[in-house]
Structure 1
Amino acid sequence: MLDHTLEDWRNRAAQISFRNKAFIDGKFVDAVSGKTFDSINPANGQVLAQVAECDAADVDLAVAAGRRAFEDGRWSRMAPGDRKAILLKLADLIRANLYEMALLDSLDMGKLVTDAVTVDAPGSAHFFQWHAEAIDKIYDEVAPTGPGDLALVSRVPLGVIGAVTPWNFPLDMATWKSAAALAAGNSVVLKPAEQSPLSALRLAELAAEAGVPDGVFNVVPGFGQTAGQALGLHMDVDCLAFTGSTMIGKKFMEYSGQSNLKQVWPETGGKSPNLIFADCENLDAAADMAAFGIFFNQGEVCSANSRLYVERSIKDAFVEKMIARAEGMQPGDPLDPASKMGAIVDEKQTEGIMRFVEGGKKTANLVAGGERAYVDGKGCFVPPTIFADVAHDDPLARDEIFGPVLSIIPFDSEDEAVTMANDSVYGLAASVWTDNLSRALRVSDKLFAGTVSVNTVDALSAQTPFGGMKQSGFGRDLSLHSFDKYTALKTTWIKYQS
């Protein structure tokens, strides 16, 4: 797959048939209203498909289908080994359709197809496989009681799960939510971001092909203020899992209070710090990963290492290393294997990034990038942009830009670096670079973040929980802990003659 040419990928893209209808109760259906919206390729502005624009009426149908499926037990009471076999088949089907799944995300939101085919799509298959394998390995409990009492503590599915996912990793974020929820025995109603619905709709079709029963996995494409809000306010949705902005995460918390007190699990914004200490001997490796940490996926990553704190004695040398790496990561056609960065998801996001850049030109030292780019005169492209000597209270260092914009801030002491790193409303991720073991552990202990990566950036795996603290939310995806979101602890107390 890595030796594919631009022409190869374009030929594959031309052969794709886009699924553009809602998937409810095992069937592709038009929106009740008949409305559609355009799914646009941000690399060239072309309309890929006109997608069903679901609203509250469609959400009602999907939730009702999910409830029927849950209540009759076609999935919720299926033997764990049988659910496992179906989800393992789904993982295999994703692998069998790897090129198509990768292209759907690349065309829909602009990410490099080489990343999508080597990271995103295989990751989706892996996460489905991992959660499937866990299904028959999670045990219930027997609580300690006195003679004549038997207290059984079991983990039971909640019912109908609403999932609202972002556009930056369309397939993977749909997977992170639905794999765990389905593995636990729930029904799912997924609302993908309106900017990138195509891979979620294809995923639903593959799930049905794998044997997931009708009504268990539903996808309702549409807008946040209609379909998303309807899920959040729905009286028959038992849990709402969300990844996206902090502002919208707070909205879903409000919707819960306004409706049925459904559980809400938000994974929201981030402004992750990356601390480079002078006792890190391999500064080239640190620079490589610092560039990856902010420029991968065009910086459209909630845990992107967008604040780079560098010890002052090495700051100038490190800035030069970062400039060199930025120059070598220029954007291009997302289908071209030679491109180092893809397109920004849409015009609105591109304009928002550029507003931060233009503001930063007045307050900080621009050392790389800074101008919008085009490919063949088209598209939403922003090159790697670096500001040096950024003030800690500058919006560049405070606000989530969600683009390839790096702020470099010098520090003079460990305590100062930790204080600045923690001085944020967010607490999703952080990175530390040092060859001093005591410092690595000491600083990691002090950093207030859901994941601290030492001598790497943004480390994650299926085995470890991903999520944040403070206004980065408190939801956790991945690992066995992800099942906590989609299950309830139920006690069955039995008195018997002892």
Structure 2
Amino acid sequence: MHGDNFDPDRVDLPSGCLIGGERVPGDGTVTEVRRPSDGKLARAEAGASASLVDRAVTEARHSLKSSGWAEMEPRQRMAIMRRWADLVDAHADELAQLEATVSVRVVSSVRLRDVPMTAEMIRFYGECIDKIEGAVLATRGNRFSTLVREPYGVVAAISPWNTPMLLATLKIAPALAAGNAVVLKPSEFTPYAILRVAELGLQAGLPRGILSILPGTGAETGTALVRHPGVDYVAFTGSASTGARVMCDAATSGLKPVSLELGGKSPQLVFADAPDLDAVATLVAASVCANGGQVCFAGTRLVVEASVADQLVERIAARMDRMQAGPTWDGATTLAPIVSPAQMKRLESLLDAAEAAGARRLHGGGRIDPGLGGLFYAPTILGGMADDNPAVREELFGPVLAVQTFQDLEQGLRLADHPSYGLAGGVHTRDIAKALKAARAIQAGTVWVNHYGPNTDPNQPMGGYKQSGFGKDFGVMGLEKFLKTKNIAFQI
């Protein structure tokens, strides 16, 4: 038995919305929150109606004025966020179980990565509060010109289901640190852990109403929130198609800035002189299979030099075969379930289209049944594809690797650069000049060389190019996007 294992039937799931510092029953569309691992109903949750959205936004605007949160001495806000981070650490087991029960995050990963990173992001942005500087601008002697930074006001944040607690915190923590109020709509399928994180923030000293949590559907809660005239800024993480709708909705009540962290179809560009093919195989298999393949930055396109392609694919397949499908409440699980029947249907439909367009299954494929009742898909490797194949072009959101080979550097760079997405990429080579050329050529917001995936350093910004969105998460840039700049000029 793994030390993180737990019984999901014994987990007490917090219900409702958080508005004005108190839990409020939802009054909108009811969602069946099901456990992806076994398909069982965890709870039927009523989301937030447009009326509750209005209440939360009104509370947020009132709290900004009454609490003086934005004008508070910076280190006082910092002290609150430090206490908050400490409380998250202290409630690690509770939060890990809340997250793993209804999401595709395995409890051991949540306990070892997501909870510590959630606490660290709150702590990091708390420490940034008194280190954001303005400027004195050069001008003629009888003038004095400065730049100051100010919070926007009320931030509407929308976070996804695939890494629910951490991705929500990446919006909440920097926006609050910058002096804003936040109204968050988490995925209606995974609202519980971030609701408790928010309550811990109140316990640490966040003013009542400065942070609200409104579970609910995108069509009802999300649309009402983004369109609300009392919202000053919108931060969204999700699919490219939904991100486009968010931009349109944000403009319906007057222009407001929007940041978008969207999907990806990221390449792993592997040259024959890669330092260690075994290490590369481990990185690729882990990236493709993590979260059941439901990760926006997953390196799901292997662009590999032809002379080493067969041996690398063989090693990746061997590692995929060792993936252990199981429930998210078993810490030994290494292959998580697909989140829902709708997502499984989409995955299988895209794979059927890919095969109809010429893709060949080199390894794996098909549903697997570990006897739990959930939906699991076997890690899969596809080959023989043209550039316009759906397996190359589309974000599948499942444990599927598309393989393309190249003969020379220029061909490899052409294949690695995706026509639509540009979230991340990986380059594997011993040649520093080749690595730099490739990293510059791949049009993506993040390129990792001889490794793959974000580490635990909170100061490294991440965000996309092209249809992968704009605006950065992580790092100081993740806070700066929640601040607007004002020029104050004096005539002496």
Q: Same fold (TM over 0.5)?
A: yes
**Does 2:272 match 1:273?**
no
Question: Could you tell me whether the CA contact under 8 Å between 1:20 and 1:50 is conserved in 2?
Answer: no
Q: Which residue of 2 aligns with 1:473?
A: 469
Label 1:5 to 1:162 Cα distance change in 2 as closer, same or farther (>3 A).
closer
Secondary structure of 1:449's aligned partner: coil
TM superposition shift of 1:407:
0.5
TM superposition shift of 1:409:
0.9
Q: Which shifted more, 246-255 or 15-24? A: 15-24
TM superposition shift of 1:154:
1.0
1:87 to 81, 86, 98: 81
CA separation in 2, counterparts of 1:5 and 1:73?
40
Question: Could you tell me whether the CA contact under 8 Å between 1:291 and 1:326 is conserved in 2?
Answer: yes
TM superposition shift of 1:30:
1.2
**Does 2:199 match 1:205?**
yes
**Counterpart mapping for 1:374-393 below 5 A:** 374-393=369-388
Question: Could you tell me whether the CA contact under 8 Å between 1:299 and 1:405 is conserved in 2?
Answer: yes
2:426 to 419, 423, 431: 431
TM superposition shift of 1:3:
5.0
Residue 25 of structure 1 aligns with an amino acid whose one-letter code is G
Question: Could you tell me whether the CA contact under 8 Å between 1:42 and 1:347 is conserved in 2?
Answer: no
Question: Could you tell me whether the CA contact under 8 Å between 2:4 and 2:107 is conserved in 1?
Answer: no
Question: Could you tell me whether the CA contact under 8 Å between 1:176 and 1:477 is conserved in 2?
Answer: yes
**Counterpart mapping for 1:401-420 below 5 A:** 401-420=396-415
Q: Which residue of 1 aligns with 2:11?
A: 16
TM superposition shift of 1:203:
1.5
CA separation in 2, counterparts of 1:32 and 1:441?
54
**Does 2:170 match 1:171?**
no
Secondary structure of 1:379's aligned partner: coil
Q: Which residue of 1 aligns with 2:491?
A: 495
Q: Which shifted more, 353-362 or 133-142? A: 353-362
CA separation in 1, counterparts of 2:368 and 2:49?
36
Q: Which shifted more, 300-309 or 142-151? A: 142-151
TM superposition shift of 1:124:
0.5
TM superposition shift of 1:463:
0.8
Secondary structure of 2:388's aligned partner: coil
TM superposition shift of 1:360:
3.6
Q: Which residue of 2 aligns with 1:115?
A: 109
CA separation in 2, counterparts of 1:90 and 1:346?
33
Q: Which residue of 1 aligns with 2:97?
A: 103
Deviation per CA, 1:264-318: give whole Å up to 9, x if none. 1011111001111001131000111011121111111111101101111111111
Question: Could you tell me whether the CA contact under 8 Å between 2:2 and 2:330 is conserved in 1?
Answer: no
CA separation in 2, counterparts of 1:234 and 1:5?
42
Which ranges of structure 2 fall in alignment gaps of 5 or more residues?
Answer: none
Which ranges of structure 1 fall in alignment gaps of 5 or more residues?
Answer: none
Q: Which residue of 2 aligns with 1:252?
A: 246
Deviation per CA, 1:190-226: give whole Å up to 9, x if none. 0001121111211121111111110100011000011
Q: Which residue of 2 aligns with 1:310?
A: 304
Q: Which residue of 2 aligns with 1:373?
A: 368
Normalised to the residue count of structure 1, the TM-score between the two structures is: 0.95
Normalised to the residue count of structure 2, the TM-score between the two structures is: 0.96
Label 1:84 to 1:144 Cα distance change in 2 as closer, same or farther (>3 A).
same
Secondary structure of 2:243's aligned partner: helix
Q: Which residue of 2 aligns with 1:451?
A: 446
Deviation per CA, 1:119-138: give whole Å up to 9, x if none. 11111111111111111122
Secondary structure of 1:221's aligned partner: coil
Question: Could you tell me whether the CA contact under 8 Å between 1:354 and 1:372 is conserved in 2?
Answer: no
**Counterpart mapping for 1:132-151 below 5 A:** 132-151=126-145
Deviation per CA, 1:297-353: give whole Å up to 9, x if none. 111111110110111111111111111011011311222222211112112112211
TM superposition shift of 1:462:
1.3
Question: Could you tell me whether the CA contact under 8 Å between 2:270 and 2:303 is conserved in 1?
Answer: yes
Question: Could you tell me whether the CA contact under 8 Å between 1:195 and 1:345 is conserved in 2?
Answer: no
1:77 to 46, 71, 74: 71
RMSD value, Cα: 1.6
**Does 2:62 match 1:68?**
yes
Question: Could you tell me whether the CA contact under 8 Å between 1:256 and 1:264 is conserved in 2?
Answer: yes
CA separation in 2, counterparts of 1:377 and 1:345?
14
Question: Could you tell me whether the CA contact under 8 Å between 2:31 and 2:189 is conserved in 1?
Answer: no
1:339 to 330, 333, 337: 333
2:359 to 358, 361, 364: 364
CA separation in 1, counterparts of 2:46 and 2:471?
29
Question: Could you tell me whether the CA contact under 8 Å between 1:433 and 1:456 is conserved in 2?
Answer: yes
CA separation in 2, counterparts of 1:268 and 1:200?
20
TM superposition shift of 1:354:
2.0
Q: Which residue of 1 aligns with 2:3?
A: 4
Aligned length: 490
Residue 297 of structure 1 aligns with an amino acid whose one-letter code is N
CA separation in 2, counterparts of 1:217 and 1:49?
24
CA separation in 2, counterparts of 1:87 and 1:14?
32
